[in-house]
Amino acid sequence: MANMRTSDQKLNSILKSRITKTLAQTLTDFKDPQEMEIFLQDFLSTSEMETYTKRLAVAYWLKKGRSYTNIKQNLKVSSATIAVVQEMLERPGVKLALKKMEAEEWANIWAGKIRKFVGK
């Protein structure tokens, strides 16, 4: 993806709301994670993708109780980044994302147990 720079000019608030809703609806319309991943790789720059994926991983690991040192070493992020994400943990959207991740993790664990139980 080409290196793009967005304008510093502010959007009209009504237009901003409409295009934000359009983006949210577009993301919702993807049918599976592979479709979403293709879109994100094409739409975001490599550095944007890395920033957002690291931010989500930091949030997830903080929720799981990992130390700053462990997160810094594994994800190659600064203490400042971890601190910013730590503050984000109380935001409703971040809480929702982590709840969905934990539900998926729980479902995968139980699916594995069930497969072992039924011998498949």
Provide the percentage of residues in the chain whose pLDDT is more than 90.
Answer: 74
Per domain, the residue ranges of the chain are 33-118
pLDDT for position 3:
54
**What angle is formed at CA 50 by the lines to CA 69 and CA 53, rounded to 5 degrees?**
70
Q: What is the CATH number of domain 33-118?
A: 1.10.1270
pLDDT given for residue 1 in this prediction = 46
Residue 7 has pLDDT above 50, yes or no: yes
Render pLDDT for 31-68 as a digit per residue (tens, 0 to 9).
899 999 999 999 999 999 999 999 999 999 999 999 99
- Please enumerate in sequence order all residues whose Cβ is within 8 A of that of 36, keeping only pairs 6 or more positions apart, or say none: 27, 30
The number of CA neighbours under 13 Å toward the Cβ of 35 is: 7
Residue with tokens 């790789």: 41
- Rounding to the nearest 10 degrees, give the CA dihedral for residues 35, 54, 43, 3: -150
**pTM of this prediction exceeds 0.85:** no
